[in-house]
Chain A
Amino acid sequence: MNTISSQNSEELVIEILSTGQKISLTKAESIIDALARIGIELPTSCQSGLCGTCKTRYISGDIEHGDCILSEAEHEEYLTPCISHIKSGTLVLDL
């Protein structure tokens, strides 16, 4: 969980588990859009956390979930990157 202690706590970062790639993003930018910048195009449909098309597994991260469909237990392992945001630090996605 705490692999980012040396980083600026204000900086928001997505890390791709399989490749180790990292992307910085702002609070205003969606995770979907940030991933698209490095060529990772996740499928989406409703773009507002209702349908689950973009549901993605994550390894670690401090997440503000904004969806209406995942249970609390599912939130421990999954997020909907179309609507969810990183509260602080690094989000490691199982991609």
Chain B
Amino acid sequence: MTSKQEQAEKKVSASAGPATPKKLVPYGGYYTNKVPGHDPELTEVGPGTPMGEYMRGFWHPVCMSIELTDTPKFLTILGEELVAFRDGSGHVGVLHAHCVHRGASLEYGQIQEHGIKCCYHGMVFDVDGTCLNAPFPKGEEAEAKKYACSIQQGAYKAFERNGLVFAYMGAPDQEPPFPEWESDFTVAPGDELVPYSNFQHCNWLQVQDNAADNFHTAELHSAKNVVGGHFQGTTFDEVGSPTMEVHPDMQFVPIHGGRGLACSGARRVDNSKLFIRVQHQVLPNLSLHAYTSEDGSDKKLFSRFHIIRWTVPVDDINSKMIGWRVMGPGIDTRGIGQKELVGYESIDFLDGQVALRRAERFANHTIKDIVEIPADHRARANYKMAQYAPGDYEAIISQRPIAIHALENPTKFDAGPYLFRKMLRDAVRGSNPAASAQAFSEWLKELNGAPNSYCSGTVFELPIGATTEEEVLQRRFVAKGVIAIITESEQYKGKERTDFVKQKMEELEQTAKAQFKH
């Protein structure tokens, strides 16, 4: 046998740089003061990188529609400098920022009826990158046309949808369908998709990790963790989402051929009700979240999407959570959503989601305004208040600009993000061919671009188990049972599927009642 220390030194991380010896020495920071590199395979997204190429096989939201004004919007997405604009004819352009003529940024260009005109020498580019005009002197129109036909501004196909601008940045001949999840994103009649964009000063993957990290809510978002009573709306205790304050018992199940991960969490509401919340993570960067304000007071079968969220890389050390909040009485049965808090650099469910706290965000601005984003979290005037009551923003971005996986010491409760990282590696490396961008696209085409989702919230009328052991067995049985039912329902669509799932859930409730001691 080798010593424990030597054993630890043999540890090699599959996903990151060289292993760091684990030395458990009191006051021994000296032995662990070297910071190894980040995991480039999963975190770096620039052109030509493994993850960057993979990500370019999917549609991503790049900004909000309200960011498109009478001047072009400068954006960085996947490490590429871009401009986005809506031209006079209503078409959205997403072009490489630097003019293909001599490099001036088109953010200083003038938006035209068709396309955009560079400020420097007046070349006009359509939304597909075609040069529509090169202003040569009179009498040299033929040469101008010849020149215009010889150049092409880098352009990406884009469209607007419910207040978001989506772009596809991959090879044009491999364009996938835009995924219309559940064909209508499960928006009930009377409900609506409300767009939002929340900037994160860190690598995209740690933001995505947070979505599959179902255990942080009961700590980070708990009133007991706020220092000295300096409450700032960062905890679920303050906003009354009682089920979110409980540590869930999680079952993580890869689904759809490894293209997604179902995170099924069981939470005991009270002695008579059990809440099963299934979050659906989709490769590479989409997460579908069930009702975030469930109190479990009433039986509820197969409630659907409450947040549809992409984690879009800006560059390797910045990203944004951008997506839709579903709002209205259909999903929000408790009626506590606040639309006036959902939009650019704000979201309603908790404060502490972005660099600006609400007090600053709304001091001189409304939700309709594009506000300045503080770049340095420690230089914020309210830094100390953020220390008293940190939110997701503080936790996530302070994991370093790019979190160092090789330095992590995961617990079993980190299985969600770790499993999702493994699925990403398998997709990027080709060890799961079904999850390649091309296979993903083919899969969407087979489903007419409208895949079913596992995302759901269900409150069962199930008494607590007679013993803790019995309760644990029961909640795991039900959490897995819900996933099995949804898998079984894959063959159906729409109402037929909903009816099938609800019927099966009733049966699952009866089975659990009969099978376990209460």
Give the one of A48, A50, A51, A53 with max B CB within 10 A.
Answer: A50
**A68: Cβ under 8 A from any B Cβ:** yes
| Chain A interface, >50% SS class | loop
CA distance A43 to B429 in the complex (A): 30
Q: Chain B residues near A43: list those with CB within 8 A.
A: 4, 7-8
**B210: Cβ under 8 A from any A Cβ:** no
**B431: Cβ under 8 A from any A Cβ:** yes
CA distance A19 to B448 in the complex (A): 60
Q: Do A53 and B1 have beta carbons less than 8 Å apart?
A: no
Q: Chain B residues near A50: list those with CB within 8 A.
A: 410, 412, 414-415, 418
**A70: Cβ under 8 A from any B Cβ:** yes
**A74: Cβ under 8 A from any B Cβ:** yes
**A72: Cβ under 8 A from any B Cβ:** yes
Q: CB < 8 Å: which of B7, B14, B409 contacts A70? A: B14
Q: Mark B6-20, 1 if CB is under 8 A from A, else 0.
A: 011011111100000
**A71: Cβ under 8 A from any B Cβ:** yes
Q: Mark A62-95, 1 if CB is under 8 A from B, else 0.
A: 0000001111101000000000000000000001
Q: Residues of B within 8 Å of A, CB-based: how many?
A: 25
Q: CB < 8 Å: which of B11, B415, B425 contacts A52? A: B11
CB nearest neighbor in B for A51: B410
**B161: Cβ under 8 A from any A Cβ:** no
Q: Chain B residues near A48: list those with CB within 8 A.
A: 410-412, 415
Q: Chain A residues near B421: list those with CB within 8 A.
A: 68
Q: Do B412 and A46 have beta carbons less than 8 Å apart?
A: yes
Residues 13-51 (chain A) with a chain B CB within 8 angstroms: 40, 42-43, 45-48, 50-51
Q: CB < 8 Å: which of A45, A47, A53, A74 contacts B14? A: A74
Q: CB < 8 Å: which of B22, B411, B422, B429 contacts A69? A: B422
Q: CB < 8 Å: which of A42, A53, A68 contacts B418? A: A68
CA distance A56 to B421 in the complex (A): 22
**B419: Cβ under 8 A from any A Cβ:** yes
CB nearest neighbor in A for B414: A50
Q: Residues of A within 8 Å of B, CB-based: how many?
A: 19
CB distance from A47 to the nearest CB of B (A): 6
Known contacts A40-B1, A50-B418, A53-B8; A69/B15 CB under 8 A = yes
Known contacts A52-B11, A52-B13, A52-B14; A68/B409 CB under 8 A = no
Q: CB < 8 Å: which of B22, B412, B422, B429 contacts A53? A: B22
CA distance A40 to B415 in the complex (A): 26
CA distance A53 to B4 in the complex (A): 10
Q: Do A53 and B11 have beta carbons less than 8 Å apart?
A: yes
CB nearest neighbor in B for A74: B14
CA distance A19 to B18 in the complex (A): 31
Q: CB < 8 Å: which of A42, A46, A95 contacts B414? A: A46
CB nearest neighbor in B for A40: B1
CB nearest neighbor in B for A82: B412
Q: Mark B249-261, 1 if CB is under 8 A from A, else 0.
A: 0000000000000
CA distance A17 to B408 in the complex (A): 32
CB distance from A91 to the nearest CB of B (A): 18
21 intermolecular pairs with C-beta atoms under 8 Å apart: A43-B4, A43-B7, A46-B410, A46-B411, A47-B412, A48-B410, A48-B411, A48-B412, A50-B410, A50-B414, A50-B415, A51-B409, A51-B410, A52-B13, A53-B11, A55-B11, A68-B418, A68-B421, A69-B422, A71-B14, A71-B429
The 4 closest A-B pairs by CB, nearest first: A48-B412, A50-B410, A68-B418, A68-B422
Kindly list 16 other residue pairs between chains A and B, CB separation below 8 angstroms, not including A47-B412, A55-B10, A71-B431: A42-B7, A43-B4, A45-B409, A45-B410, A46-B409, A48-B412, A51-B11, A52-B14, A53-B8, A53-B11, A53-B22, A55-B12, A69-B14, A69-B418, A69-B422, A95-B1
